[in-house]
Structure 1
Amino acid sequence: MGPGVTGLNHITLAVADVQRAIAFYRDVLGCEVRVVWADGAYLECCSLWLCLSRDDLVRTSPHADYTHIAFSVDNDGFAEMSERIKANCTVWKDNRSAGASTYFLDPDGHKLEIHVGSIEIRLDHYRNDPSKGVSVFGP
């Protein structure tokens, strides 16, 4: 097998109103605005490059499937951020997984999550609970 991907480069989200989306990602989630133009913006969220792009075809309701984007948050700041999100957003799912999470919609209906934990914590959870029937690979 040849070379593979080296990481996540960026995520682009279609938005109906660029200024509304910038305000949400900046003021509610704490992303840093880096570039703004008439039909879009680039923001940074830690090492994530987020592009907001105006699109006339933005749907008015979220997809029915489970596809979503999860942002990492520290345990110490989770409760405060979760309350801020709940005050400004629609919650689309209750957390039933290992680790603290809040599942919410952005103003354009994109499904998002804030989550405390890492993949290693999740793998340890499955290693320690074989009743889940999950196969864990690697150390």
Structure 2
Amino acid sequence: MNPTPSPIANAYTVPAGTSIGHIHLQVTDLKRALTFYRDLLGFEVMLDMGTAAFLSADGYHHHIGLNTWHSQGGQPAPREGVAGLYHAAILYQERAGLAAVTKRLLAAGYPLSGASDHGVSEAIYLDDPDGNGLELYWDRPRAEWPTSSDGKLTMYTHPLDLPGLLSLAE
């Protein structure tokens, strides 16, 4: 077991512009995972190696990696009593993009596990076919983020206006 490092206040801050680049998931059935990520969510397959595939939103080398190297035919990870990834988040640049994918999911009868307005963003929640949690969301412009009288961010969780969101879907 690794020791927990002691906190050093203000010693280092992640540089501005840093972002999280991609997720790589173990899946139990690559064809089924591709049907979900490619055919339903709309990601483009950049490389399919048979036991792994790499998908992109815009021609980037990959935003999502999928593999069956140690998981082919296995079981999804348990949700209770274990540490692990709670969910991965996919950011849509515009509300209309979130609306379009939400409409696709609902039209396909794909189950959503939640839909929330967080003040800073609107999000839908679902699990992929292997039980990996996903958040699909768009961020409101920073000028619209809720803040307290002293300027501190005041995020919240309210029900999402799903009809209002879906009204943007073409």
Percent sequence identity is 24
- Alignment TM-score, normalising by the size of structure 2: 0.61
Q: Secondary structure at the match of 1:103?
A: strand
Q: CA RMSD in A?
A: 3.5
Q: CA deviation at 1:116?
A: 1.5
Contact 1:85 1:104 (C-alpha < 8 Å) held by counterparts: no
1:126–1:67: structure 2 CA closer, same or farther, 3 Å change rule? Answer: farther
Q: CA deviation at 1:118?
A: 5.5
The size of the alignment, in residue pairs, is 132
Q: CA deviation at 1:83?
A: 1.8
Where does 1:1-139 land on structure 2 (aligned, <5 Å)?
A: 6-46=18-58, 49-54=63-68, 55-56=71-72, 57-59=74-76, 63=79, 67-73=86-92, 74-86=94-106, 87-98=108-119, 99-117=121-139, 120=142, 124-127=145-148, 132=154
Letter in 1 for 2:100: E
1:58–1:125: structure 2 CA closer, same or farther, 3 Å change rule? Answer: farther
CA distance in 2 between counterparts of 1:39 and 1:30 reads: 20
Q: Which has the higher strand share?
A: 1
Q: CA deviation at 1:58?
A: 3.8
Q: Which has the higher helix share?
A: 1
**Structure 1 alignment gaps of length 5 or more:** 135-139
1:95–1:121: structure 2 CA closer, same or farther, 3 Å change rule? Answer: farther
